C-alpha cells in the first residue's frame, strides 16, 4: 500500500496516477541535451558551480513528468516567453520570473549565520557562506 504524501484531490484517476510519479522516485524522462548522446553540446557547454567549471556531461537531467521535461527544454530552445513586469528581462520559465522579481521587491529573507548579510535567494546565501569556510 503506497504512502500518502499530500492531501490532494484529483478529478480523474489518471491525474492522480501521474502525480504519484513525483513521489515514486521514478524519473523516466531524460533531457537529451544533457545525455551523453549529445556530444557537441557536452563539448561546447559548461556549467558554473561555485566558480568551478563543470562539464555538462556530469549533469544528467531526469524528470518524473514529461511536462516538467518539456518545460526544462525551453531553456535549450532559446524561447523566453515570460518577462519581468519591472525591468522587462525575459525568462524561459514562469517560476524563474517570480524568483527574479524578489530582486525588485527588496525582500531579503535569507541571512548568513556568520556575518548576517542578507539575500533574496537561498542559493546566493549558500554560495556566499563558502567565503567563511576558507
Q: Are residues 48 and 85 in the same domain?
A: no
- Quote the domain boundaries for residue 106: 80-134
Q: What grid cell was written down for 103?
A: 530582486
Q: State which H helix or E strand residue 82 sits in.
A: strand 82-83
Q: CA 49, CA 41: separation in Å to the nearest integer?
A: 18
For the purposes of burial, counting CB atoms within 10 Å of the CB of 34, is it exposed (0-12), middle (13-18) or buried (19 or more)?
A: buried
Between 85 and 53, the higher pLDDT residue: 85
pTM score of the predicted model: 0.47
9-30 residue pLDDT tens: 878 887 777 777 777 777 777 7
Confidence of residue 79 (pLDDT cuts 50, 70, 90): confident
Place of cell 557537441: 40
Q: Are residues 18 and 74 in the same domain?
A: yes
- Residue 89 falls inside a structural domain: yes
Least confident of 15-19, 45-49, 95-99, 101-105: 45-49
Between 26 and 50, the higher pLDDT residue: 26
82 close to 93: Cβ distance less than 8 angstroms = yes
Least confident of 37-41, 70-74, 92-96, 120-124: 37-41
Alpha helices in the chain (DSSP H): 13-24, 39-44, 66-77, 94-100, 102-105, 122-129
- Residue 1 falls inside a structural domain: no
Neighbours of 80 (CB within 10 A): 15
60-76 residue pLDDT tens: 677 788 888 888 777 77
**CATH number of the domain encompassing residue 110:** 3.30.160.60
Amino acid at each position: 500500500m503506497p504512502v500518502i504524501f499530500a492531501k490532494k484531490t484529483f478529478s480523474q484517476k489518471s491525474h492522480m496516477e501521474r502525480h504519484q510519479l513525483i513521489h515514486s522516485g521514478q524519473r523516466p524522462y531524460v533531457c537529451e541535451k544533457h545525455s551523453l548522446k549529445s556530444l557537441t553540446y557536452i563539448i561546447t557547454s559548461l556549467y558554473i558551480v561555485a566558480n568551478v567549471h563543470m562539464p555538462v556531461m556530469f549533469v544528467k537531467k531526469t524528470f518524473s513528468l514529461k511536462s516538467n521535461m518539456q518545460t526544462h527544454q525551453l531553456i535549450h530552445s532559446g524561447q523566453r516567453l515570460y518577462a519581468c513586469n519591472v525591468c522587462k528581462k525575459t525568462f524561459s520559465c514562469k517560476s524563474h520570473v517570480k524568483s527574479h522579481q524578489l530582486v525588485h521587491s527588496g525582500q531579503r529573507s535569507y541571512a548568513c549565520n556568520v556575518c548576517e548579510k542578507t539575500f533574496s535567494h537561498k542559493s546566493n546565501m549558500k554560495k556566499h557562506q563558502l567565503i567563511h569556510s576558507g
